[in-house]
Amino acid sequence: MAAVPKNKRSKSKRDMKRNSYKLAIPSIVECPRCRAKKIAHRVCLSCGYYKNNMIINLDKKNKEKAEKQAKTKKERKSEIKNKANQSTTAKK
């Protein structure tokens, strides 16, 4: 047989119990190494370090990011124009 409550739980006690089922807001701190925002007590996703120890090797990711930033605005605009021209010629 299932357990049955002996007395009715009051609204106050019910609400106090429900109060503990909240989502916690993660504390966001600044990485001391690269100054990026990160969750406290976690590895920094931008540099890969935690407590001055390299945990994740991000050399490949950093190279890709640097290549993207190296493109000038003119190159990006010319790429967009080329894509637009290709799409209009394909429609004809």
Residue 32 has pLDDT above 70, yes or no: yes
**Per-domain residue ranges for the chain?**
25-91
* SS3 at position 89: helix
Give the chain's length: 92
| Across 27-32, average pLDDT | 93
- Residue 68 CA to residue 76 CA, distance in Å, equals 10
Beta strands in the chain (DSSP E): 28-30, 37-39, 49-50, 53-54
The model's pTM: 0.44
Model confidence pLDDT, tens digit, residues 48-82: 899 988 888 877 656 566 566 556 666 777 777 77
